[in-house]
Structure 1
Amino acid sequence: MQPVTAQDGAPWRVVCLCAAWCGVCRQYEPEFLAIQEKFPQIRFSWVDVEDQEEIMGDVDVETFPTLLIGQGAQPLFFGPVLPQVKVLERLLTSLLQAPQEASGMPSEAVPLWQRIAAQ
Structure 2
Amino acid sequence: MPTIELTKDNFEETVTSAGIVLVDFWAAWCGPCRMFAPVFEKAAESHPDIVFGKVDTEAQPELAAEFQISSIPTLMAIRDRTVLYAQPGALPAPALEELIGKIRAVDMEDVRRQLAARAGQG
Residue 51 (structure 1) shift: 1.2
Q: Percent identity?
A: 30
SS of alignment partner, residue 78 of structure 1: strand
Aligned CA distance change for structure 1 residues 99 and 70 (closer, same or farther; 3 Å) = farther
SS of alignment partner, residue 57 of structure 1: helix
Corresponding residue of 1:87: 95
- Which of the residues 8, 17, 22 maps onto 2:30? 22
The structure with the largest alpha-carbon Rg is 2
Unaligned 5+ runs, structure 1: 1-9, 104-119
SS of alignment partner, residue 52 of structure 2: strand
Unaligned 5+ runs, structure 2: 1-17, 115-122
- CA RMSD in angstroms comes to 2.2
Aligned residues of 2:25 and 2:54 also touching (Cα < 8 A): yes
TM (norm. structure 2) is 0.65
> Which residue identity is paired with 2:94?
K
Aligned CA distance change for structure 1 residues 36 and 50 (closer, same or farther; 3 Å) = same
d(CA) in 2 for partners of 1:73 and 1:95? 13
Corresponding residue of 2:60: 52
Corresponding residue of 1:11: 19
Equivalent residue pairs, number: 94
Residue 87 (structure 1) shift: 1.0
